[in-house]
Structure 1
Amino acid sequence: MASHSRSQESNLTDENILISHDRLYKIDQLREKNIGKYLPLPQLVAVGDQSSGKSSLLETVTGIPFPRGQELCTRYATQITHRRDHDSFISVSIIPGPRASAKHKEAVESYFRQVSDSSQLQAQFPAILDEVNTCMGIRTPRNPTGQYTFSEDVLKIEKCGPYEDYLTVIDVPGIFRTTTEGVTSENDKVMVRNMVIEYIKDPRTIILAVLPANVDVATQEILALAEEYDKAGERTLGVLTKPDLLKERSAKRSVCGLVLGNRKPLNLGYYIVRNRGGDDDEDDSELSTRESLFRQRPWCDLPDERVGVRALRSRLQELLGEITDQAFPIIRTELRDMLMKSQADLDALGASRKTPQEQRQYMAGIAAKFQHLMRAALDADYSRDKAFDDGDLRLVTRIVNFTEWFEYTFRNSSQTYSFVKQKGVDEDVDMESEPPKGSDFTTLNAPEYTELKQLVVEDLTTNPPMNGIMDWIDDISRNFRGITLGTVTPSMLSSAFRGQSVKWEIITKQYMSLVIVAVHRFIDKGLVTVCKCPIVRQRVGATIVTQLLTAYTSAMKQAMLLVEIETQRKPYTINHYFNDNMQKLRGSKMMDQLTPHAQRIEMTANNEVTQFVRLDKIPSVAENKSNAQYAREEIHDILKAYYTVAAKRFVDYVYFLAVDHCLLSGPDSPLLLFSEQWVLGLDDKKLASIAGENQQITDRRARLTKKVQDLKDAIDIL
């Protein structure tokens, strides 16, 4: 039974290893396609100073025999990959840097060499590195015409075979503090440091901090740099090299303290290895002889799993498998999300717009979308598009709210003087004295639209009507009296109505300003909705702004014309409500006059109380008024009856003739300006100035197209 359990556990372990190896291979394919420039990939990166023994460590761990006496490989990152395969071979290729030009990329991607084993690679490696440096443009004694000292390109060495365990380690150039005249410069020093940072800052990178054992770790810049980007120390593994150079027992004990975690501890700990020398071979017997050092004190007191190349290699494979298994599902999700966003950004640019036909099709499509959005906004059909979540795009709703404010303000504040209230006449007005919800406008909120500043008014406050209308009417009647049989002349009524309606102009301007800004904001935000390219959007706006202002000005003039017609002409109406209002006013006034003369009779049958006035009392009540008193009351009543009819008529006319006809649904509405017909009317030169692509858009489309394809390839790989 125990044997069966162990067999099951072994099978599960083998299965997990296969899964990890498969995922590691996929991650390596992503790295080869430069997906790492879009999102961090799981990787092991060896970093250290130039004198840390980093290159020797990589040779020891990977078995790749780098030429001695040459530091050519340290001019660029080197990715060393072990992969299990039916055939045994070692291939050498170049992965272009993330910012490589198309020409350079084509040149380096074409480079490929393959050898059968390590011995053949060792023999050919110096010549291969010369070819690589030439291809990358690295300046060396053998390639003095090279342009660069260091490169962002990556040398990829892949070692395959039936017995290879999967392991990928990236070696980056070593940090150096002093420059060498004629070889390296201050710029090179900064570039290498930035290159190291680019690799170690990614949260999915395991940092192999290579530190010589004969140097105090506190002085090692690479460890301080690792601590800066891995503050918790969860991604940094310390590798101590050159233990054979330690002679003093105190120094050896100090290094043992690091490995045991007694000094400057790291979550992943420290390992200690002895690299092969320049004359050492690569076989197991040489490795055993070299690591016999660790059988001596104090090294023999260290745990076996922290000492030697085999222990380090095993731990690196384990770490790489762990971070890959953890990151794999997250990377897939991130790639999908990134692809969706990149595709959306690419779609927003639209199709290529190099020819007039392409430009016209692009613009006509945007214009059609805008008109569709506009029709939905005027129909209050907000379910068509999520864009209507923005209240500024709910155009007709906003205008209805503004119109209710206009009507309420007119009913309550448009009079210069408050009319005298009378029973039976003003009850309906009193019942509607509450302002409509959402109509507390005091300031026009449009500071971003400076082009409207000369057209609209910003202050939306209105003063309430004043008291003292009868005294004011007295002044009018005295100043406009003429020789006539009647007490009220037409000039008195005209003058009274002009004075009473003097605020109509400003209130109408306030209303029109609200509507104009709402329409302008709808066009502005509507363009943002249908046209994702900010440059084209800005060009469209700049092209139509003059025509928009013309339409807005025409609407405002129409409204002001209505104000002039209503307030500056002789009062006149055939609306029967005028007579109704007059009858109500006179009836109410007669009731007020007769009430003091009324007598009460109680009807005993049904307990009702009835009032009556004797007919002979009526003439005396009507005769008790002077001409002046009668005139002012008559002017007041006519003015009030006419004002009510004229104000309601005016509010309707302003909406229908100035707002709806001029700004919303009429043939010259600014909402109809940006249309397919407008696009078709543009000549090729004007069309190109609006929809033509500048180099910035062309480059952005090329980058996004490549990114989308890269991400699709990456998702296919995963």
Structure 2
Amino acid sequence: MTISRDPVILSNPALLERVDKLRDLNIGQHVPLPQLVVVGDQSSGKSSLLESLSGIPFPRDQSLCTRHATQITSRRDSNDSVLINIIPGPNATEEHKEQLKGFRNKLPSGSEFRKQFTDILKKANEKMGLRTDLSTGKGEVFSKDVLKIEISGPREDYLTIIDVPGIFRTTTQGTTRDDMTLVKDMVKGYIKDDRTIILAVLPSNVDIATQEILELAKDVDKNGERTLGVLTKPDLVLEPSAQAAVCDLVLNKKRSLTLGYFLVRNRGADGGFEEQSELDRVFQTQPWADLPKDRVGISALKEQLQSLLVDITRREFPKLLQDVNNQIKDCKRELDSLGLPRQDEREQRSFLSHIAGAFQERAREALAAHYNADPVFEQDELRLITQVMNITDVFNADFRESAHSRHFEDLGVPKTPVVAEPKAEPKAEQNADPKAEPVAKRPERPAHRDWEETPAGVTVDNLRALLDKAKVDEIAPQELSELGDIIIPIQEIPKPRDNFTAWINDVHLQFRGMDLGTFNPYLVSISFAEQSHKWGDITKIYMSRVIITLHRFIAAALRSVCTEEQARNHLWYAILDTLVERYKTAMAKANLLIEVEQRKQPYTLNRQFAAARMEARGHRITELLRPTARRDTKQFGGVQYMVSLDDIAKAAAGKPNVEQLQEDIHDILKAYYGLAADRFIDNVFQLAVDYYLLTGPSSPLKVFTQDWVINLEPGELERIASETKQAKKNRSRLGKKIEDLSNALKILKSQDEQ
């Protein structure tokens, strides 16, 4: 570390004064401050060193030894004054803080203060709650409060030093092993930050290898860049070999430190009132006289400490400013995460109303597929309308593929395909072209085609894969407990069978009457009910998938707008019953549509019904005539198929009554089923899903609204929106921290302006 010797800097205390103001605000608990910290064993001579540096007569009485941190600030001023107060520890209670406010002493001069210091120290210990007698009595042995002593006068040098309790290895005078640990942790806490210069006080008459403080310093200062060794009690080192070892340390030949070692002599416990100049005469004797003059004596040490403190403050100032700014930003983010304050009814309604507004905005964006409105929509659960439409397309495909019990006949395929014999001569017919080729077998079409209407470029398999990815069919235990009375287990729907003609024949034989070319209309109702009996299961599976998807959306949307878990949980259970009722209403509407289609007499006003019946009859006649048709390539400029008028008459009149009735039932049922299926699919989506679940006034999405918040009873409002004790504590803590850091920022910026 480079040592500054700029006399202008040393004489200008403005920068250091502002750091001391930050320390007064207890900013050091949030942001490390540049500081000098004196550490050492209880018997290292720490108190004597502090007296030499500050002129304060620290008592040697064991009951008044350093049992708390002491911040000593001296500054040059035209007027003499001493101000003493106590800075509460970082974890002090509000009650303790109030108690410490009463301790504030102001004395007219340093000499007066030094006379009263022992009494002041006793009173400070009492205010901190420390024991007056270490062996007996109530109170703590050590405190994390800080005694601040600020000395001003025309002869004072600018210096700020923090003294912490000395490390001890054996329990005496009422101390415990817990006290040993507490002191060691306190020392570690003060020396850990990179902005701290460690003044390690080491008695010269003790083997340095036994000094634990150097090991503690090395733990936090690996390279020894900010540790300065202060060797005390040189007058007690009598052996030449021991003196040589001390000289090697001062010359940085052994256990070197970047900041090196200083050798000082302080007044002893029974050394009377010798002047510092008299004490320093020891350095005029051998072997100390050969040591560098800037490495021995209190004056040299004090000058070095002043330079170090200025250097580290100048170096760290920009980082300090940045750290305070970052801390304020972090605190504000954490405070924002707690939401609006809610101490009273007005704040609680405002808090819930804000969340309700944000929730409704999420719902509107999700229904409109405005997913670029917020990065939160990267979550699949929040892409509501996309999920619903994918489920709906799968429902549409499943319905058209599997909802009918039996496949209808494909009227474009003859029941008994006719193939022209390749070797037989065609039978000559009147008006037929002798060169006309026989009619070949018409290519067969599959007996059934799935009606899979999906978006362009998307297959049903793609959509099913998306549903699997969204785990729509995997119901979590909590979802099952909430929705178990509404949804049904997802099950595989059996495929339609192919024996439609035989089945119609059985139905006709079971319900026939004395018909003469007609049939009982009740046969169509029975047949349609049987053909559509799977509609209920497929529809309930569809509704269950939509309800689960909607339920998950509401939960995810609430998580995104209300980050506090307790408030969110209370809100969830407050709206859950209403959500479930509205899910039930939507499912009931779907059940009503199922019942209407299956129980009522089949009927339609759709004009396509008659057209479909006529088309079916035309297909039947066409297939009957196909074997007798001959291709004619001469007339009308293209290939034509010619049939005889007599064949047409025979085809129309050549069936028994029973067969004709069965075909009529088939054609009516097929024509009506197709129209009814289209109508039913549309109605389920438009009424049960879109109106009752998504967009209608009774949609579950419109349960949690700002109007709902306004109408909440005060008791229910308090239960949902009141803050936890921990949240209140965090809010208070963050508010105080932001206030302190903001004040610190003002102090730091005022330095920039000067």
TM norm structure 2: 0.80
1:229-285 Cα offsets, whole Å, 9 max, x none, are 445555544444334433444444555555566655555555444434343657552
Find the residue that maps to 1:561 and give its secondary structure: helix
Once the two structures are TM-superposed, the CA of residue 191 in structure 1 deviates from its matched residue by 2.5
The 10-residue stretch of structure 1 (391-400 or 76-85) with the greater mean CA deviation from structure 2: 391-400
The verdict on how the C-alpha distance between 1:611 and 1:296 changes in structure 2, with shifts beyond 3 A counting, is same
Query: Structure 2: how far apart are the matches of 1:32 and 1:26?
Result: 10
Find the residue that maps to 1:98 and give its secondary structure: coil
- Tell me the percent identity: 43
Correspondent of 2:152 among 151, 160, 181 = 160
Once the two structures are TM-superposed, the CA of residue 156 in structure 1 deviates from its matched residue by 0.8
Query: Structure 2: how far apart are the matches of 1:479 and 1:43?
Result: 106
Correspondent of 2:549 among 499, 518, 521 = 518
| Equivalent AA in structure 2 for residue 330 of structure 1 | K
Structure-2 residue corresponding to 1:554: 585
| Equivalent AA in structure 2 for residue 599 of structure 1 | R
Q: 1:432-443 maps to which residues of 2 (within 5 A)?
A: 432=454, 434-435=459-460, 440-442=466-468, 443=471
Once the two structures are TM-superposed, the CA of residue 128 in structure 1 deviates from its matched residue by 1.4
Find the residue that maps to 1:158 and give its secondary structure: strand
Correspondent of 2:69 among 28, 53, 77 = 77
Does the 8 Å CA contact 2:356/2:706 hold for their aligned counterparts?
yes
Structure 2 unaligned runs (5+)? 413-444, 749-754
Query: Structure 2: how far apart are the matches of 1:277 and 1:343?
Result: 52
Once the two structures are TM-superposed, the CA of residue 76 in structure 1 deviates from its matched residue by 0.5
Query: Structure 2: how far apart are the matches of 1:525 and 1:343?
Result: 25
| Equivalent AA in structure 2 for residue 668 of structure 1 | S
1:604-655 Cα offsets, whole Å, 9 max, x none, are 996x433333333345556676777766665555444333322322222222
Query: Structure 2: how far apart are the matches of 1:421 and 1:222?
Result: 97
Structure-2 residue corresponding to 1:107: 99
Query: Structure 2: how far apart are the matches of 1:486 and 1:291?
Result: 138
The verdict on how the C-alpha distance between 1:627 and 1:257 changes in structure 2, with shifts beyond 3 A counting, is farther
Once the two structures are TM-superposed, the CA of residue 78 in structure 1 deviates from its matched residue by 0.8
Structure-2 residue corresponding to 1:129: 121
The 10-residue stretch of structure 1 (493-502 or 415-424) with the greater mean CA deviation from structure 2: 415-424
Once the two structures are TM-superposed, the CA of residue 165 in structure 1 deviates from its matched residue by 5.5
Does the 8 Å CA contact 2:10/2:307 hold for their aligned counterparts?
no
Query: Structure 1: how far apart are the matches of 2:211 and 2:113?
Result: 33
Does the 8 Å CA contact 1:73/1:129 hold for their aligned counterparts?
no
Query: Structure 2: how far apart are the matches of 1:577 and 1:224?
Result: 96
| Equivalent AA in structure 2 for residue 241 of structure 1 | T
The verdict on how the C-alpha distance between 1:175 and 1:14 changes in structure 2, with shifts beyond 3 A counting, is closer
Structure-2 residue corresponding to 1:6: none
Find the residue that maps to 2:633 and give its secondary structure: strand
Does the 8 Å CA contact 2:517/2:657 hold for their aligned counterparts?
no
Q: 1:454-533 maps to which residues of 2 (within 5 A)?
A: 454-455=484-485, 457=487, 460=490, 462-463=492-493, 465-466=495-496, 468-470=498-500, 473=503, 476-477=506-507, 480-483=510-513, 484-485=515-516, 490=521, 492-533=523-564
Does the 8 Å CA contact 2:134/2:141 hold for their aligned counterparts?
no
Q: 1:231-270 maps to which residues of 2 (within 5 A)?
A: 231=222, 233-255=224-246, 263-266=254-257, 268-270=259-261
Structure-1 residue corresponding to 2:752: none
Query: Structure 2: how far apart are the matches of 1:514 and 1:326?
Result: 64
| 2:391 aligned with 1:402 | yes
Q: Is the radius of gyration larger for structure 1 or structure 2?
A: 2
The verdict on how the C-alpha distance between 1:288 and 1:394 changes in structure 2, with shifts beyond 3 A counting, is same
Structure-2 residue corresponding to 1:172: 164
Q: 1:223-622 maps to which residues of 2 (within 5 A)?
A: 223-231=214-222, 233-255=224-246, 263-266=254-257, 268-278=259-269, 279=271, 285-286=277-278, 288-292=280-284, 296=287, 300=290, 307-346=296-335, 349=338, 353-380=342-369, 388=377, 390-417=379-406, 429=451, 432=454, 434-435=459-460, 440-442=466-468, 443-444=471-472, 447=476, 448-455=478-485, 457=487, 460=490, 462-463=492-493, 465-466=495-496, 468-470=498-500, 473=503, 476-477=506-507, 480-483=510-513, 484-485=515-516, 490=521, 492-588=523-619, 590-603=621-634, 608-620=638-650
Does the 8 Å CA contact 1:476/1:496 hold for their aligned counterparts?
no
Query: Structure 2: how far apart are the matches of 1:458 and 1:216?
Result: 82
1:74-115 Cα offsets, whole Å, 9 max, x none, are 111111223454544332221111222223212323323344
Does the 8 Å CA contact 2:82/2:149 hold for their aligned counterparts?
yes
Structure-2 residue corresponding to 1:209: 200
Find the residue that maps to 1:519 and give its secondary structure: helix
The verdict on how the C-alpha distance between 1:11 and 1:341 changes in structure 2, with shifts beyond 3 A counting, is closer
Q: What's the C-alpha RMSD, in Å, of the aligned pairs? A: 4.1
Query: Structure 2: how far apart are the matches of 1:454 and 1:161?
Result: 81
Find the residue that maps to 2:168 and give its secondary structure: coil
Query: Structure 2: how far apart are the matches of 1:680 and 1:715?
Result: 41
Structure-2 residue corresponding to 1:7: none
| Equivalent AA in structure 2 for residue 518 of structure 1 | T
Structure-2 residue corresponding to 1:3: none
Structure-2 residue corresponding to 1:55: 47
Query: Structure 1: how far apart are the matches of 2:180 and 2:374?
Result: 55
Find the residue that maps to 1:658 and give its secondary structure: helix
The 10-residue stretch of structure 1 (136-145 or 520-529) with the greater mean CA deviation from structure 2: 136-145
Structure-1 residue corresponding to 2:38: 46
| Equivalent AA in structure 2 for residue 34 of structure 1 | N
| Equivalent AA in structure 2 for residue 561 of structure 1 | L
Structure 1 unaligned runs (5+)? 1-9
Does the 8 Å CA contact 2:345/2:714 hold for their aligned counterparts?
yes
Structure-1 residue corresponding to 2:434: none
The verdict on how the C-alpha distance between 1:76 and 1:349 changes in structure 2, with shifts beyond 3 A counting, is same
**How many pairs align?**
703
Structure-2 residue corresponding to 1:187: 178
Does the 8 Å CA contact 2:483/2:580 hold for their aligned counterparts?
no
| Equivalent AA in structure 2 for residue 399 of structure 1 | V
Query: Structure 1: how far apart are the matches of 2:223 and 2:630?
Result: 101
Find the residue that maps to 2:460 and give its secondary structure: coil
The verdict on how the C-alpha distance between 1:421 and 1:189 changes in structure 2, with shifts beyond 3 A counting, is farther
Does the 8 Å CA contact 2:633/2:639 hold for their aligned counterparts?
yes
Correspondent of 2:676 among 631, 635, 646 = 646
Once the two structures are TM-superposed, the CA of residue 197 in structure 1 deviates from its matched residue by 3.0
Structure-1 residue corresponding to 2:424: none
| Equivalent AA in structure 1 for residue 733 of structure 2 | R
The verdict on how the C-alpha distance between 1:316 and 1:614 changes in structure 2, with shifts beyond 3 A counting, is farther
Once the two structures are TM-superposed, the CA of residue 126 in structure 1 deviates from its matched residue by 0.9
Query: Structure 2: how far apart are the matches of 1:430 and 1:141?
Result: 91
1:132-178 Cα offsets, whole Å, 9 max, x none, are 12222221149986622211110112233467554332211122222
Query: Structure 1: how far apart are the matches of 2:195 and 2:489?
Result: 58
Query: Structure 1: how far apart are the matches of 2:208 and 2:407?
Result: 91
Find the residue that maps to 1:441 and give its secondary structure: helix
Find the residue that maps to 2:572 and give its secondary structure: helix
Does the 8 Å CA contact 1:280/1:286 hold for their aligned counterparts?
no
Does the 8 Å CA contact 1:480/1:492 hold for their aligned counterparts?
no
1:284-328 Cα offsets, whole Å, 9 max, x none, are 5235324436x516x846x66655544544444444344434443
Does the 8 Å CA contact 2:36/2:199 hold for their aligned counterparts?
yes
Query: Structure 1: how far apart are the matches of 2:591 and 2:451?
Result: 27
Query: Structure 2: how far apart are the matches of 1:143 and 1:121?
Result: 29
Correspondent of 1:709 among 739, 745, 750 = 739
Once the two structures are TM-superposed, the CA of residue 701 in structure 1 deviates from its matched residue by 3.4
